[in-house]
Amino acid sequence: MAHTWNRREFLKSASAATLGALAAGAPLSMLNSCGKPALTSTADTVILLWMAGGMAHTETFDPKRYTPFEKGMSANSVLSTFKSVPTALDGISFSEGLESIGSVMNLGTIVRSYVAADLGHILHTRHQYHWHTCYQPPQTVAAPHIGSWMAQLLGPKNPVIPAFIDIGQRFSVGEGEELKAFHSAGFLGNEFAPFFIPDPSTGLDSVKPPVGMDYKRFERRNQLYNELISKGPVGEFGSDYQKESLRRSMEQAYRLLNSPEAKAFDLNSEPKASYDTYNTGRFGLGCLLAKRLTQQGARFISVTTEYEPFMGWDTHENGFTRASAMKKQIDKPIAQLIKDLQQSGHLDRTLIIVASEFSRDMMVEGRPDAKVQEQVNQPDVINDIKHYGMHRHFTDGCSILMFGGGIKKGYAYGKTADERPCKSIEKPIRIDEIHQTVYHALGIPEDTHYVIEKRPFYTTPDGKGRCEMDLLSGTQA
């Protein structure tokens, strides 16, 4: 039986792993391929569009029978609270409100059978940690984010643009410390950690000195910062490798500050018509910034709707009305990002992923054969609109969209049941397979690893992640 982890235990284990990473020396030379021929890459860049909080598959990309709201209705009779609408992919429908994304599905693949892990009592940040690192917490070693693996293994495409950029997530919200646990390069070192832009509308502020500070004063601050490194936690607990990695990360930020490429962060220079199309809020503008940074040579970009407990996709109540609002935030910007990158010629080498940590259901918490503690009081009979929607966490049938970068065009992978529980019934796929498919597209072999604390640490646990070749186009499959 899975351990019932709580917030305190998660923080304790994550903090211990972080201290361990600080004290660790340089990871020993990467060992990979075992004499195998090198992989041919089909992607140079990855954009992860993260639907933080648990996006219900039956309310978005895998709709089931629609049941309109009616007082006195049976909760168990509700599978989808939105009508189905056709997409550009024959035989595939999305739920109402996602027509724009549906119109570009001829350019990508929908995965309808992602199965999230059994991690005991559902805790969003533990599942998000697992999705982004491919490792289940707790770990004795701080596991690197997939973006950090890419930054380290492939290096920057443009030496001035940070290889790994994270857009939209603040850490001043609920569970901020838990979120920090996986927004990290772990043992790889700070130079491969994400460059954070919490608000894309002020992205330019991230790459220039504060108002009122000239460049000479900024240089003095930079020198002072380097002195403080030796007196802070990195200086006290960090190895020489970690200290040097942090200094290199600051040098990279300083190069960006003085470069013409910094203009990519200024959304005010975007043509008004384009800006207005993307401007559905912070997430939409994050997609716009992702487009601009992709064109300037970023390696991995994450754009999130932001995880904040009981906000956004974390629909513990008012599921229908909240999902309606979230669709307005994501539909046009995601579709426009795909169309713009296709038009500029970048989509062929850019792998775009739309995903969430798990799905939601009205009646089942966890999965049918591994139910966990109920966290939502869902009445069997619905008399109030706030109970109409998907409010419980569901891990046995989740949707992922993938575009570009060698992914098949106009393809549907996997299937979920048409009746409750709407679980994966064909081609179930798990996170190590998703990660390894991404690495394969990037030309990174499946046995890639470093030796840390005298043991191998692979991109996927024990190096057993298997690429799902069926998701890749004919040239890769």
Residue 341 DSSP label:
H
Residue 37 tokens, joined: 């021929």
Quick one: 11 exposed, middle or buried, by C-beta within 10 A (0-12, 13-18, 19+)?
A: middle
DSSP 342-409: HHHT-GGGEEEEEE-S-EEESS-SB-TTS-----S---SEE-SGGGSS--EEE-S-EEEEEESTTBPS
DSSP 32-72: --TTPPPPPPS-SEEEEEE-TT---GGGTTS---B----TT
Q: How far, in Å, CA of 35 to CA of 41, rounded?
A: 18
Among 226-230, 258-262, 328-332, 449-453, the range with the most confident prediction by mean pLDDT is: 328-332
Region 304-322: mean pLDDT is 96
More confident site: 299 or 119: 299
Region 234-242: mean pLDDT is 55
Give CA angle at 290 (284, 296), nearest 5°.
150
Kindly tell me if the per-residue pLDDT of 350 is higher than 90: yes
The pLDDT value recorded for residue 138 is 83
Kindly tell me if the per-residue pLDDT of 230 is higher than 60: no
More confident site: 108 or 235: 108
Kindly tell me if the per-residue pLDDT of 215 is higher than 80: no
Kindly tell me if the per-residue pLDDT of 5 is higher than 60: no
The pLDDT value recorded for residue 313 is 98
Region 106-113: mean pLDDT is 98
Confidence of residue 375 (pLDDT cuts 50, 70, 90): confident
The pLDDT value recorded for residue 122 is 83
Confidence of residue 477 (pLDDT cuts 50, 70, 90): very low
Q: How far, in Å, CA of 32 to CA of 439, rounded?
A: 13
Please write the tens of the pLDDT for every residue from 9-28: 655 555 544 545 544 555 65
The pLDDT value recorded for residue 104 is 98
Q: Is 234 helix (H, G, I), strand (E, B) or coil?
A: helix
Strand partners, 46: 300, 351
Residue 3 DSSP label:
-
CATH number of 7-28+36-203+266-448: 3.40.720.10
More confident site: 277 or 204: 277
The pLDDT value recorded for residue 374 is 87
The pLDDT value recorded for residue 258 is 72
Strand 195-197 to 398-403 pairing: unpaired
Residue 431 tokens, joined: 């996170």
Kindly tell me if the per-residue pLDDT of 33 is higher than 60: no
Region 209-236: mean pLDDT is 56
Strand 398-403 to 411-413 pairing: unpaired
Kindly tell me if the per-residue pLDDT of 3 is higher than 90: no
Q: CA distances (Å), 387 to each of 56, 69, 360, 392, in order?
A: 15, 10, 13, 11
Q: Are 189 and 22 in contact (CB under 8 A)?
A: no
What's the mean pLDDT when you consider all of the chain? 87
The pLDDT value recorded for residue 431 is 98
Residue count (the chain): 477
Q: Are 357 and 124 in contact (CB under 8 A)?
A: yes
Kindly tell me if the per-residue pLDDT of 183 is higher than 60: yes
Kindly tell me if the per-residue pLDDT of 453 is higher than 60: yes
Q: Is 245 helix (H, G, I), strand (E, B) or coil?
A: helix
The pLDDT value recorded for residue 182 is 93
pTM score over 0.85 = yes
Place of tokens 């550009």: 88
Q: How far, in Å, CA of 246 to CA of 118, rounded?
A: 35
Kindly tell me if the per-residue pLDDT of 55 is higher than 50: yes
Residue 190 DSSP label:
G
Q: Is 93 helix (H, G, I), strand (E, B) or coil?
A: strand
What percent of the chain lies above the pLDDT cut of 70? Answer: 81
The pLDDT value recorded for residue 132 is 98
Q: CA distances (Å), 32 to each of 445, 449, 456, in order?
A: 7, 7, 11
Helix boundaries (H) for 62-115: 99-102
Q: Are 58 and 390 in contact (CB under 8 A)?
A: yes
The pLDDT value recorded for residue 372 is 85
Q: Is 422 helix (H, G, I), strand (E, B) or coil?
A: coil
Place of tokens 């220079």: 269
Region 27-39: mean pLDDT is 56
Strand partners, 424: 416
Place of tokens 């909240």: 322
Kindly tell me if the per-residue pLDDT of 396 is higher than 90: yes
